[in-house]
Amino acid sequence: MERPAPERATRKGRAMRGQTPIQRQTNYRQLRNPFPTMDVFSADEIENMHDTAMRTLEELGVKVLLPEARKIFAEAGARVDEMTDMVYIGRDIISAALASAPKSIECRAGARHRDFVLELGSLTFQPGAGAPHATDRDRGRRPGSARDFRELTQLTQHFDVFQMVPPLIEPQDVPTNLRHYFTAEAQLTLTDKFPFIYSRGTPQVEDGFAMMRGFRGLTDDEWRAHPHCYTIINTNSPRTLDIPMAQGLIDFARARQLAIVTPFTLMGAMAPITVAGAITLSHAEALSAIALNQLASPGAPVCYGTFTSNVDMKSGAPALGTPSHFQASLAAGQLARFIGLPWRSAAGSASNTNDVQAANENQLGLWGCLMAGATVIIHSAGWLEGGLTVSYEKLVTDAEVLNMIAELCAGNRAGPDEIGFDTALREVEPSGHFFAASQTMARYSTEFYEPIVHDYANFGTWTERGARDASMRATDVWKAILASDARPEMDDAKVEELRHFVERRTSEGGAPPES
Amino acid sequence: MERPAPERATRKGRAMRGQTPIQRQTNYRQLRNPFPTMDVFSADEIENMHDTAMRTLEELGVKVLLPEARKIFAEAGARVDEMTDMVYIGRDIISAALASAPKSIECRAGARHRDFVLELGSLTFQPGAGAPHATDRDRGRRPGSARDFRELTQLTQHFDVFQMVPPLIEPQDVPTNLRHYFTAEAQLTLTDKFPFIYSRGTPQVEDGFAMMRGFRGLTDDEWRAHPHCYTIINTNSPRTLDIPMAQGLIDFARARQLAIVTPFTLMGAMAPITVAGAITLSHAEALSAIALNQLASPGAPVCYGTFTSNVDMKSGAPALGTPSHFQASLAAGQLARFIGLPWRSAAGSASNTNDVQAANENQLGLWGCLMAGATVIIHSAGWLEGGLTVSYEKLVTDAEVLNMIAELCAGNRAGPDEIGFDTALREVEPSGHFFAASQTMARYSTEFYEPIVHDYANFGTWTERGARDASMRATDVWKAILASDARPEMDDAKVEELRHFVERRTSEGGAPPES
């Protein structure tokens, strides 16, 4: 879908000089993280954090609101206080969960070239998710709608660098008992990427599973052999696992679909003010959730995770892309490597508009995730206001950065052809130029990344063209993508079947979310 | 000058709870790079690039326009063709230069707390330099003036994260025979940081040296014991060393002042289109310049360097903050470690305004430099249009990012106090908050970096305050800094002496630049 340019350029290059053109090899769809991992704490400190998380689960406990979940923990030998809903989880239970959780997870999307593997070392991106509002330069900021949901899902499909489709915004104009039909149908019919299901109670989750299985035409064995969709499990920090989240951990485990566990621990608010304290709490909560998931079905695909940044101590507002956010990602990465599981982290921005702050925050947070070795980087494009809004323009401008990261994943070479002593260095006289060197002619059409929104025009030309900044140009980009209305290949009969399912379930009253 | 807030906040914290407040330790003035270095090429490939650079110098040669420089090379045994000005430099000459060049350089500024060391592992920043234009949101884009030069120098002084003062813009309203007096006087009297002298011929350089030595009150031995100023040496790629640059290498070596050698090699234009080819050429040119410098005075302080990005192949315009720029920094860093010298790289932006593109380009380029282990990162704040303009607002918004990098240099701890099992985790009930936890109370006033221009207000408050984006707020920041007109401590008699020197030399006609 994206980047047909290299093919065109190749033909042109060949025609011009009769040489074999040399093309860069990039594959945005299956990325490996090329960046060295960075430690913020020593190995001893990490071990102490892990040990303190174990003590936290054993001595302080976790409040588990779902009776079935408490029952599962109790049967595994955890001490449960039914008066207070507190569950005290021994480290033997955690160790068993970490032993049974898979280290490598093959995720199946709607098309085989969209499949990917989650394991330490692999790298996937999602745009910003879960925002109540949407915004763009033409229509302004508004409550997220069905139209926004579909449009943002199409934009996510367009950019190969997003391997997973989240629910970017909440379509608030769709009734809550029917919303999950709408979101699942939109993700399945507008994309062929790995889709998402909200954990808002078993009835909604089972509806979602039925839609995914039916649309993909999977046997029960096929469905269970690999995850075909995912959910995000947020603990209620500190130390609370609410009903829909606990239920989601159980339902996804039993269906062998992917649960991504993410305590959202804001340093100084719902978590300790220090990176070490906040990540120790996050680690404890994540391990309790992974334990429940693995107790429900040992070996089920589950992803460790954190989303930890600091608040602004003056206002209590979340701050993103800060040094503390960066270090929290590093610490979580160390703990993920300590337990050996694939894991998710998050970028994002607290800015109120797609400005320099928004760009700098998102990219700083992103580098924290990259150098922490995160497997899944969520909210990597489009988030404003700490996640209250997804911006169409920011989705585009952040995708530019992610594309460049994907280019860096491809690495580079310095063999004799690339060094080019005879095809470049020797050919050009002192103070000459390399525009016509043999090496240049063989490579000029594909050697460099071609930006989608960055502009290299000089000041005069740029001014003549209206002095339009990157956000303004990003409006053109998303409009062009939506105007092209590209759709992935799909079976019309399956689309029809999906509609019938939704119609039937709608006539039956749908399924309200549980809380 | 910057960040008095922690001290104030400390007193408040102590008063509130009678606890010993815990302060983060940061030192923006002497930074060590905490980021792991990243390789883009294998060790074998790097060795081949170094070897090809040696072959380039031996077989293809360098055009050296200054007769004295050719003489120095000839006396060292290089083959010199006086008909063509070509110098063919054997690898024995390069090896001797690399053996005599210091691996660690103590730079002396105007105040001891502004001194720093250049060596592999240390980290320094400079704002964008050498632009013909200045721009800000109030006054628009204009040819750089004396006023701009002074204002931008004051802004550079303000931010501790800039350890070196470059000539940010060209003060075009000052006659060229007097301009070096103006720039040296401005740097010496408005800052106490490590200053810059342009290599525009021996007369100007000697004027600059006299001003620096006199103003600092240094004996000849003190002056020569450590560098007290620096110059930038750009080769004319490919393979040309022009007269003022060659003269600068000789003059700075003999005065034992710092020369930072930087081929500016744009891939696909003045350098091969590949990262491997461009960096091989850059390496050859840098080594030839270092050789001339060390032949003129073995052991003189010299910094290896590169500034390599790609051009946009459609327009030939420079592109910055691209994947190729990033990889070029990595490759240069590998070669710097191969030869063991401190080295400079560069960030920067090609955008025409301080927008999202400008932010993303500068930060992506910056991360390339950081992960390449660059010792000096030039153009790390303020550059627009690939260096044709320095923006006051961009200087501020980029300084925010550099401050956050400086915060990351300070690292973090995860001892029992930071993990806080008893002072935080145990104190807060499930679903509670940490605002009043003992650990929070002891740390809340200094735990997090406080931004200079990023804003965490919610959308409603931000809208009420005028919906001002980061660039607009940056205007307020630089205006407040200039309005405060803070000056470093200095000896009035020395300032007077400096003025007399300039008056005398002005009445003598000054010194025009040489080319």
Residue ranges, chain B, pLDDT below 50: 1-18
Q: Quick check: A188 pLDDT over 50?
A: yes
CA B376 to CA A335: how far, in whole Å?
A: 33
Beta strand segments in B97-168, E: 104-107, 116-119, 122-125, 133-136, 140-143
Do residues B35 and B369 touch, judged by C-beta distance below 8 A?
no
| Residues in chain B closer than 8 A to A440 (CB atoms) | 268, 272-273
CB contact under 8 A, B141 and A459: yes
- pTM of this prediction? 0.96
CA A327 to CA A336: how far, in whole Å?
A: 14
CATH of the domain spanning B96-409: 3.20.20.480
Per-residue pLDDT, B20:
63
Which residue, B258, B281, B256, is CA-closest to B269? B281
DSSP H or E segment with residue B50: helix B43-55
Domain A96-408 has CATH 3.40.50.11900: no
Cis peptide before A238 (omega within 30 of 0): yes
A14-43 residues touching B, CB cutoff 8 A: 34-38, 40-42
Per-residue pLDDT, B14:
36
Best mutation target among B8, B314, B425, B458 (most A Cβ atoms within 10 Å) is B425
B317-346 residues touching A, CB cutoff 8 A: 317-319, 322-324, 326-327, 331
Residue in the block written with tokens 């769709």:
A174
- B438 has a chain A CB within 8 A of its CB: no
Do residues B221 and B255 touch, judged by C-beta distance below 8 A?
no
CA A198 to CA A170: how far, in whole Å?
A: 11
Per-residue pLDDT, B314:
86
CA B333 to CA A394: how far, in whole Å?
A: 32
| Residues in chain A closer than 8 A to B245 (CB atoms) | none
CA A378 to CA A71: how far, in whole Å?
A: 32
CB atoms within 10 A of CB A346: 29
Q: What angle do CA B90, B95, B97 make, to 5 degrees?
A: 100
| Residues in chain B closer than 8 A to A388 (CB atoms) | 459
Tokens of B276: 């491997």
CB contact under 8 A, A470 and B35: no
What mean pLDDT is predicted for residues A306-324?
93
Signed CA dihedral, B443, B449, B451, B454: sign only: negative
- B471 has a chain A CB within 8 A of its CB: yes
Per-residue pLDDT, A371:
98
Q: What angle do CA B201, B203, B204 make, to 5 degrees?
A: 70
Rg, C-alpha atoms of chain B: 24
pLDDT classification of A127: cutoffs 50, 70, 90: very high
CA A271 to CA B456: how far, in whole Å?
A: 19
Coil, strand or helix: which one is B63? strand
Query: With pLDDT > 70 as the criterion, what percentage of chain A qualifies?
Result: 96
| Residues in chain A closer than 8 A to B62 (CB atoms) | 430
Per-residue pLDDT, A212:
97
Quick one: DSSP state of residue B128?
A: -
Classify burial at B237, counting beta carbons within 10 Å of its beta carbon; exposed 0-12, middle 13-18, buried 19 or more.
buried
Of A354, A412, A455, the CB nearest to B327: A412
Per-residue pLDDT, B201:
97
- B96 has a chain A CB within 8 A of its CB: no
Residue in the block written with tokens 């033997």:
A92
Coil, strand or helix: which one is B441? helix
Q: How many Å lie between the alpha carbon of A418 and the closest alpha carbon of chain B? A: 6
Per-residue pLDDT, A22:
74
Quick one: DSSP state of residue A138?
A: T
- A413 has a chain B CB within 8 A of its CB: yes
pLDDT classification of A24: cutoffs 50, 70, 90: confident
| Residues in chain A closer than 8 A to B445 (CB atoms) | 313
Which of A23-37, A358-372, B22-36 has the highest average model confidence (pLDDT)? A358-372
- B86 has a chain A CB within 8 A of its CB: yes
Q: Quick check: A359 pLDDT over 70?
A: yes
Coil, strand or helix: which one is A317? coil
- B210 has a chain A CB within 8 A of its CB: no
**Mean pLDDT value across chain A:** 95
Q: Quick check: A1 pLDDT over 70?
A: no
CA B95 to CA B92: how far, in whole Å?
A: 5
CB contact under 8 A, A456 and B312: yes
Q: Quick check: A6 pLDDT over 60?
A: no
Per-residue pLDDT, B23:
74
Q: How many Å lie between the alpha carbon of B493 and the closest alpha carbon of chain A? A: 43
- B466 has a chain A CB within 8 A of its CB: no
| Phi, psi (rounded to 5 degrees) for B427 | -75, -25
Q: Quick check: A246 pLDDT over 60?
A: yes
Q: Quick check: A283 pLDDT over 50?
A: yes
Best mutation target among A357, A384, A475 (most B Cβ atoms within 10 Å) is A357
| Residues in chain A closer than 8 A to B475 (CB atoms) | none
Q: What angle do CA A210, A214, A219 make, to 5 degrees?
A: 100
